[in-house]
Amino acid sequence: MADKSRNERHSVSADTVATVLKRVIAENGREHVRGYAMAIGCLVVVALTTAFTAWIMESVVNEAFANKRADLVMIICGAIFAAFVLRGIATYYEAVILSKIGNNIVARYQRRLYSHLMALSVSYYNESRSAYLAAQISQNVTGIRDVLNMTVTSLARDVLTLVALIGVMISKDWLLTLLVFVVAPPLLLGLRYVSKRLRNATREAVELNSHVLGAMQETIQGITIVKAFTMETELKTKVEAIIGEAESRSNRIARLTERTAPMTETFAGFAISGVLAYAAYRSIYAGVMPGAFFAFVAALLMAYDPARRLARLQVSLERAAVNARMIYEILDLKPRQADLADAKPLTITDATIRFDNVRFGYSESETILKGVSFTAEGGRTTALVGPSGAGKSTVISLIPRFYDPAEGAILIDGQDIAHVTKQSLRNGIAYVSQQPYLFEGTIRDNIRYGRPDATDTEIEEAARHAYAHDFILAQPLGYDTPVGENGVTLSGGQRQRLSIARALVRNAPILLLDEATSALDTESEQAVQKALDEAMSGRTVVVIAHRLSTVVRADKIIVMQDGMVAEEGTHAALAARENGLYARLNNLQAPVGNTGT
């Protein structure tokens, strides 16, 4: 197949946290450098006021309790009060600034993801479950924000606070400080082991949770089929199994993540108990003033929280980096249908479409079209008929370049569509699919998607031609009535007529109709067929229909079988052929076929 989505995939799962962090900073750092500078300034204030609180404890104990200096108590208490107020203000502004930056990063990547997804080929979506893709994006997009924010807060707050407090500890008693850090290396090695194991577990958990959300979304979207075929038990069993796997994986992540707690607590307990024992010995037997000891213990206790957060930093960054990597896997997909370097805007004159020995398959192991050649004359109607699986819908999908042929060429007015811009190509085409799709919004919005600059008058005129105007006016708010998700508030026939109105308002020289009347009842079909007859006038139309009543008046009928053109001609000529495929199809629909002769 010419466009294989798996060839588009580019995995970055082997990237280290440092590599992901470098990319995130490169893409976002410059734009938010001022905000991060302000946040870092606030975090520096937090770190310094925290260290000051520990440092002043020696004066509190020695001057207030040992030396009983009442004249200094108010000064010391005022300094402590000011430090806490300053730290509170700095913490508030730091949190607000980082939240605003984080929200902006999430919004930017959501826009970027949406824009990139729009550039990917249709084949990518055929091989990727939409529910799973949506769930994966929603779960992972915050990972990029978390990588940056955790790095900033850890470096500017936790590292600075820890360094400042260690400075206080060294100034009060360097030997005690040395004893505290004797046990640090084993802790760091243990945390490194945990973070490595956590990396794979986190990725598996994200994928399993995406499957859970995807399965639920799929069930909601197909609830009528679920109910009609009493599939509740089967789907419940399937989803519960997925949920069970996700729960098991999340439990494993919890166990791995929380292993840092006994490690750090053990380290803290050993350090603090050792310090107390040493300080008590010096106070009892050497008569050393307790102020320095209290200041040291205060600094040690205050250092515990930033040390614990830093100890967990690699574990937390691994989880966030996994999320970020999965987003980058999507952003790094290379669209295989990008405009060629020599692509030029399509110039349409009479809109003649020619297929020249086109071969195509949806995968390398199958061939759907086997050398298809025909011409759809400009300003005329060409109908594609044939048994199911003959390749009719595939032919339609190749004209707007939803896919590219493996061999051969498709030309519009002599211009190979592979060498024109997709935007100009699709601007010249109006398309009505076999399964009408409506977007959330009003009826007017859905018709206007055909041409964003269409006036209300043009929208209503298109609705009239599609025989939709009357039922639209019968809706509670007329053209401003919300259609619900995929037009759930409308019948199938009504959705199809709105889809036709959307194509008509586009006013394009080429009209593609893929079973455009398949969802309509007999009365609606006759009405819409009259509207289509009017809309077809003066346009190049390629239409697919199983019911021959919709194509008997076509200027040319292409009969397809097994991916090839079997017959070609008018209805009258083809129906008169003995043992012809079209004649056989016509005889099978004898009451319908007779109406057109």
Task: Give the chain's domains with CATH numbers.
Answer: 5-331 (1.20.1560.10), 350-428+539-597 (3.40.50.300)
Instruction: Per residue of the chain (597 residues), give pLDDT as tens.
Output: 444 444 443 333 445 677 888 888 888 888 888 998 899 899 889 888 888 888 888 777 777 666 677 777 788 888 888 988 998 999 899 889 988 888 888 888 888 888 888 888 777 777 766 666 776 677 677 777 888 788 788 777 788 888 888 888 888 877 777 776 766 666 666 666 666 666 666 666 666 777 777 777 777 667 767 777 677 887 888 888 888 887 787 787 777 766 666 766 677 677 667 777 776 777 677 666 667 777 777 887 788 778 777 767 777 777 787 778 888 888 888 877 778 888 999 999 999 999 999 999 988 778 899 999 999 999 999 999 988 888 998 999 999 998 899 999 999 999 999 999 998 999 999 988 877 888 888 999 999 999 999 999 999 999 988 888 989 999 999 999 998 776 777 877 788 888 889 988 988 999 998 876 665 667 667 766 776 776 777 789 999 877 776 778 889 999 999 999 999 999 889 888 888 888 888 787 655 444 443
**Cα(53)–Cα(58) distance, integer angstroms:** 10
Could you give the dihedral angle defined by the CA atoms of residues 440, 441, 444 and 449, in that order, rounded to the nearest 10 degrees? -50
187's tokens: 């802790």
> Which pLDDT score is estimated for 202?
67
Q: What is the DSSP letter of 387?
A: S
> Which pLDDT score is estimated for 340?
86
DSSP per-residue codes, 120-140: S-HHHHHHS-HHHHHHHHHHH
> Which pLDDT score is estimated for 383?
92
> Which pLDDT score is estimated for 515?
77
Measured distance between the N- and C-terminal CA atoms of the chain, rounded to whole angstroms: 41
Q: Which residues contact 27 (CB under 8 A, 6 or more apart)?
A: none
> Which pLDDT score is estimated for 8?
40
What's the per-residue H, E or C state across 289-353?
CHHHHHHHHHHHHHHHHHHHHHHCHHHHHHHHHHHHHHHHHHHCCCCCCCCCCCCECCCCCCCCE
* Cα four-point dihedral sign 21, 23, 26, 28: negative
> Which pLDDT score is estimated for 221?
66
251's tokens: 């439990």
**Cα(576)–Cα(586) distance, integer angstroms:** 10
Name the one residue in this structure whose structure tokens are 């594609």.
384
> Which pLDDT score is estimated for 286?
66
Q: What is the DSSP letter of 359?
A: E
> Which pLDDT score is estimated for 4?
42
> Which pLDDT score is estimated for 51?
87
> Which pLDDT score is estimated for 564?
94
Q: State pTM to two decimals.
A: 0.71
Nearest to 24 by CA among 335, 323, 333: 323
